[in-house]
Amino acid sequence: MKAGPDISIVGALIGDPARANMLTALAGGVAMTATELATEAGVTQQTASSHLAKLLDGGLLALRKQGRHRYFQLANEQTAAMIEGIMGLAHHAGHRRTQPGPKEPALREARVCYDHLAGERGVALFDSLIRRNALSAAADGLALTPAGEQFMCDFGVDVEAARKSRRPLCLACLDWSSRRNHLAGALGAALLQTIQDKGWARREKGTRIVRFSPPGARAFDKLVGERI
């Protein structure tokens, strides 16, 4: 018997079309009820409950209870990064569930991945941080440099609050539409929140799209030093 992680278990969990639809619906960092996820998966509520139990047992989902309501969400951002990566592989291999629609360009430009900025603007931000030496390689992936600390402070990000999170501060997440990295982790989430707090962009309700206003897009392009 071979030692080490058994990826076949995870593969079997995400390989079912209904469960795959549930996971991609949750990839935007939202929490959804079993009824909502049944609709996303195109199955009955009874069937959805069976799928959700398997995903919970497999460690891919977490359950949140609020009063009488039960909400499901991705277990962590490692799970979100995995889903994002698989979406990229499927996209480039030509495996598509539907024909491209009018919203696809918006998803490519800017969207939320779990709770951080993805898409072309997310990649441009990551590249900008690397160019200005705000991020450097570390044993666990990425580290924030002194220059990065100053940049975040000037931009209005509370780095100390991000550090107090139990999650990693900086993570590289492979973007499905460009196959290049964007920034995840507590810092990635804080950056997206600051962008929204500045009024540059907002999350489009019911979607993963992050919609930049014209002034916000200009300010963002100036920040990263390049046009999208």
Task: Please give the angle made by the CA atoms of 160, 166 and 172, to the nearest 5 degrees.
Answer: 85
Domain boundaries, the chain: 7-75, 100-224
- 75 vs 55, 57, 80, 82, 176, CA distance in Å? 10, 11, 8, 12, 20
* pLDDT tens track for 56-113: 999 999 998 877 888 899 998 889 888 888 887 777 666 665 544 445 788 889 999 8
In angstroms, what is the C-alpha Rg of the chain? 18
Collect all residues with Cβ–Cβ distance below 8 Å to 96 and sequence separation of at least 6: 90
Q: Beta-carbon neighbour count of residue 5 at 10 Å?
A: 7
Residue 149 in tokens = 């600390």
The pLDDT value recorded for residue 100 is 42
- pTM exceeding 0.85: no
pLDDT at residue 103, rounded to an integer: 56
**Residue 213 tokens, joined:** 């206003």
Indicate the class that CATH gives domain 7-75: mainly alpha
Measure the CA–CA gap between 13 and 20, rounded to whole angstroms: 8
